[in-house]
Amino acid sequence: MSLPPDFKWGFATAAYQIEGSVNEDGRGPSIWDTFCAIPGKIADGSSGAVACDSYKRTKEDIALLKELGANSYRFSISWSRIIPLGGRNDPINQKGIDHYVKFVDDLIEAGITPFITLFHWDLPDALDKRYGGFLNKEEFAADFENYARIMFKAIPKCKHWITFNEPWCSAILGYNTGYFAPGHTSDRSKSPVGDSAREPWIVGHNILIAHARAVKAYREDFKPTQGGEIGITLNGDATLPWDPEDPADIEACDRKIEFAISWFADPIYFGKYPDSMRKQLGDRLPEFTPEEVALVKGSNDFYGMNHYTANYIKHKTGVPPEDDFLGNLETLFYNKYGDCIGPETQSFWLRPHAQGFRDLLNWLSKRYGYPKIYVTENGTSLKGENDMPLEQVLEDDFRVKYFNDYVRAMAAAVAEDGCNVRGYLAWSLLDNFEWAEGYETRFGVTYVDYANDQKRYPKKSAKSLKPLFDSLIRKE
């Protein structure tokens, strides 16, 4: 029994991935609606137009959460359902607000604690068209703060707020590789616009400012009466040296995490960007004004951690190309001795390696002074799962083992290493729209039959988490 009695556990989702109903009740388009309409951007040519139909099935989703024994649920709000055009002077859509207010009321009535993410990549498309979205610091930060305030006021019952989900993905995949909306990249065969060497660093900076403004607003105007907490969720992989005898590979392991996680966490905890980033990127990495340092530093009540996989890291020599975002290194699945880091999954980037989770929890805890951590996403796809017969899909022993190994690694980090982990939200409650991979990749603990009215079938993994947490959480 190594986890505290008040430990929160459950499942996570995101609005564009599950809601559907993109044209219902006054919702405006997001950059993902626009991106999905461009031929070739999504693997199977699909979109989130219907997805899991969860906008219309909140009752069903809550019943599923109850059936699985979860005490918490992380979901995101669609900004363009609240303000269809996104901006602080644009009309507010009361129907959108009413939907989420009722959903939170129903969750709480069912004994499930809501964790609300304000932004999970689905920027209102009108803001992208109006002023370049994330690229405009003043406008974007002001509009995000306004949207955040509307939600804080509307849902005082929520005690756990997350400002942004994985800003690394918005910045790098949205503005360097062009793999995610809005698809900016220097590669003119993929996009007519974009500067992969500069735009991602501007976007990351502007997201930090917007995050900090929302946190300041919450702390000053809502927290005194509501008593909740607010933070940001960052993503990053565990790292192991390709050659454990090579100091340059060992150093590159830290640099990889710094370029992924500390890019956002260091300004929040220390008021500055990592030295390794400044050294490589120079003036392409924006500078914080003294006012911005004061705003951003300390703007986290907890650390939201999304984590899935690990890599062997091999340093590179020579001058990195201008569009490099890793930190002048290679990420590999095999080390110098031919050891494989973990088995294949459906996701090209994901290989299970549970010890890496414990290692990264320790790395983050030591660097940032043992903050309160909520694991806001953790999960896996299965190779070929989408092509299996239903009976086989429901016996997802690979995912059961993944959760068992990772949750136990986390519990060991708490019990033996002193890490302050207070919650775990598995990704994901449902198979859903997996962004650029469309519906070909499944991460859900519940099978969704897209061809037959989005019918839900809980898999073995769905039912495995309650007994696992029951065995690990101390009774009061």
Residues catalogued as catalytic? 166, 377
Contacts of 208 (CB under 8 A, 6+ apart): 167, 264, 267, 268, 296
Tokens 């929160």 correspond to what residue?
8
Beta strands 446-449 and 455-458, pairing class: antiparallel
Minimal CA–CA distance to 273: which of 283, 282, 264? 264
Residue 42 backbone dihedrals phi, psi, to 5 degrees: -110, 135
Q: Are 16 and 78 in contact (CB under 8 A)?
A: yes
- The C-alpha atoms of residue 466 and residue 71 are separated, in whole angstroms, by 10
The number of angstroms, rounded, from the C-alpha of 25 to the middle of its chain's C-alpha atoms is 26
Tokens 């390709």 correspond to what residue?
242
Minimal CA–CA distance to 127: which of 10, 30, 255? 30
Q: Are 355 and 413 in contact (CB under 8 A)?
A: no
Describe the chain by its helix, strand, coil percentages, rounded to 5. 45, 15, 40
Minimal CA–CA distance to 300: which of 132, 176, 163, 165? 163
**How many Cα atoms are found within 13 Å in the side-chain-facing hemisphere of 195?**
8
CA-based angle 356:117:169, to the nearest 5?
Answer: 55
Through-space distance between the first and last CA atoms of the chain, rounded to whole angstroms: 11
